[in-house]
Amino acid sequence: MIPDDLDDLHALAGEYVLGTLDPAAAREIEDALVANAALRRAVIFWEERLHGLSRLAAPSEPPPGTWEEIAARLGTAGKSPPLGLLNSLVLWRWSTAGAAAVAACLALYIALAPPAAAPRLVAVLHAPQQQQPAWVASGGNGGMLLRAVAAAAAPGDRSFELWAIGPGTAPVSLGVVPASGRLELGPRSTAIHDGDQLAITIEPKGGSPTGQPTGPIVFAGTLVAAQ
């Protein structure tokens, strides 16, 4: 269902333009674009934003025979590719894995961050030895949102817990992550700053019993100022 709330609508449009929605959800948006002017404006807005982000990546050419392979799988061999599909520089820039990951995280931050007092901070959390974004955190001392991007759920008898770690300080719990993968935090009494670390650990069900991490760090990232 297409949301009426403007913030939710923009979040959905951003994910549609990024290509992170499942096929059924993407088709629902495509069907609604004809009659829903607000949705059309949101999609156009994010297309313009993300086309600019695609310039962060170096251009690359598609491998020879790419269209022929696609056409063979689709049963459309002998037909011409859609205009500009394989010649689109933007498309192939986005195919670069590192650039796509950066752009996806930036777009998710812009689309999904709740209102928060300056400075606005953002962190991309990933598993050790991996670069694939798993979580995006955004906001600041006026409020913060953590949202799963490509992270598995915690084991059934355990919980994910989010921690902030400043230079030379002990970890401070920011809360237990709900099973939905979305943690919204209100204004904080303990300040967080540009350069602090965010970490997610696996803890007993309901969170650490000691007030400090007891399980392994499974995702981590650094907070950086977004403006």
pLDDT at 94: 37
The rounded distance, in Å, linking the Cα atoms of 33 and 55 is 27
Give bridge partners of residue 147 from the DSSP assignment: 136, 182
pTM of the model: 0.51
Amino acid (1-letter code) at residue 117: A
* CB contact at 8 A, 174 and 138: no
DSSP 3-state of 224: strand
- Closest C-alpha to 131, from 89, 153, 102, 88: 102
Instruction: Report CA-CA distances (Å) from 64 to 41, 58, 68, 110, 227.
Output: 36, 19, 9, 36, 41
Q: Which of 25, 24, 29, 61 is nearest to 46 (CA)?
A: 29
Whether residue 147 contacts residue 112, with contact meaning beta carbons closer than 8 Å, is answered with yes
Contacts 24+ apart (CB under 8 A), 28-32: 28/1, 28/2, 29/2, 32/2
Mean pLDDT of successive 10-residue stretches along the chain, which has 227 residues:
81 78 84 84 75 50 66 59 40 41 53 51 86 84 86 87 93 93 85 92 94 93 80
At 60 the pLDDT is: 56
- The pLDDT of residue 76: 54
Does residue 18 sit in helix, strand or coil? helix
Does the N-terminal peptide bond of residue 209 adopt cis geometry, omega within 30 degrees of 0?
A: no
**3-class SS of residue 170:** coil
